[in-house]
Amino acid sequence: MGLEGHRIDVVGLTKTFGTTKALDDLTFSVTPGTVTGFLGPNGAGKTTTLRCLLGLVAPDSGTATVDGRAYRDLDDPIRTVGAALEASDFHPGRTARDHLLVMALGAGLDTGRVDAMLAQVGLTDSARRRVGGFSLGMRQRLALAAALLGDPRVLILDEPANGLDPAGIAWLRGFLRALAAEGRTVLVSSHVLSEVQQTVDEVVVISRGRLVRQGRLEDLDTGPSAVLVRTPTPDLLRQALAGAAVEALPGGALRVSDRSTAEVGHAAFASGVELHELTPEPDDLERLFLDMTGEGAAP
Ligand SMILES: Nc1ncnc2c1ncn2[C@@H]1O[C@H](COP(=O)(O)OP(=O)(O)OP(=O)(O)O)[C@@H](O)[C@H]1O
């Protein structure tokens, strides 16, 4: 059975710090039951947006609401929105378990969930260790457990994959997907698309405080795919691909930007050209992300 879902709506959000326009008329929404990646390069305004959503920063104009209400107007904010903004602000002398107990008591939450949450994030064996000795990945897990203490419908996580090793990222992926499958609304920021690419259904891409793109990950138009080819006879392959956009790469490979792997393979076969490699160019999505956010522009 799914939970009652809550939308996140950011409308016309604008915030200036001194002379820095951190957010510039930013609008997007996040639907329940999805994991949404909130993406943008460092300094794009992600943290500021999340802080506005949590009532920690007052915007100059615009609104950031959960279930149609500002955080401060929610009836039961702790049980509605769980957030992990920074993984580093734990008291280093306190154990993981004590940290969650203090939080639960302070917020009037059921302390009975503490051990269950530690187990959920894989910290049972470290529950009685002091947080000061935790790795960044363990702090991230603890922050996640803290965010989940109130069994919230909405989760807001700032760079949760930061500091996790590949196994930890794979774990996080399954964990967040399961929370979304329960009908929760999960918003996860990252400045690295590949980190969350396999986790998210939707992406909201921002750059310089403005929305660049919102949509389903699979609908992002990655443009024509390019093909990397290696052959001992590049000139013959160029002839065989007459009319194609072919670029010589350092190291001797050719990059064909307007033909599919099948088309390149067929042209080579039909002309008797020997191929040593024929691969679709990797990271099309990463390239698109860099292009969209202006980070990939040629110097
Ligand atoms: N309290 C503040 N005072 C002054 N400037 C700020 C403050 N908070 C954020 N900024 C500035 O606003 C811009 C957006 O910062 P923000 O932290 O929201 O970006 P971000 O996308 O989260 O990047 P990062 O991943 O590096 O944290 C940056 O130029 C930042 O320096």
Q: Give the lowest-confidence range in 218-227, 237-246, 257-266.
A: 218-227
The answer to whether the CB of 47 is under 6 A from ligand 1 is yes
- Alpha carbon distance 138, 150 (integer Å): 20
* pTM across the whole model: 0.80
Q: How far are the Cα atoms of 41, 75, 166, 181 from residue 152, in angstroms, in the given order?
A: 28, 13, 27, 14
Domain at 8-219, CATH class: alpha beta
The answer to whether the CB of 22 is under 6 A from ligand 1 is yes
Q: In this predicted complex, what is the ipTM? A: 0.94
> Which of 13, 17, 54, 205 should be mutated for ligand 1, with most atoms under 8 A from CB?
17
Scored b (16 or more CB within 10 A) or e, 199-232 reads bbbbbbbbbbbbbbbbeebeebeeeeebbbbbbe
Phi and psi angles of residue 18, each rounded to the nearest 5 degrees, phi first: 60, -115
The dihedral over CA atoms of 192, 54, 132, 127, expressed in degrees to the nearest 10, equals: -100
Asked if 162 and 192 count as a contact pair (C-beta separation under 8 A), the reply is: no
Q: Which residue has the higher pLDDT, 257 or 8?
A: 8
Strand partners, 224: none
Percent of the chain with pLDDT over 70: 93
Q: For the chain, which residues make up each domain, given as ranges?
A: 8-219, 227-280
> How confident is the prediction for the chain on average, in pLDDT?
89
Which CATH number is correct for 227-280, 1.20.58, 3.30.70, 1.10.10, 3.40.50? Answer: 3.30.70
Phi and psi angles of residue 279, each rounded to the nearest 5 degrees, phi first: -135, 140
Distance 20 CA to ligand 1 centre (A): 9
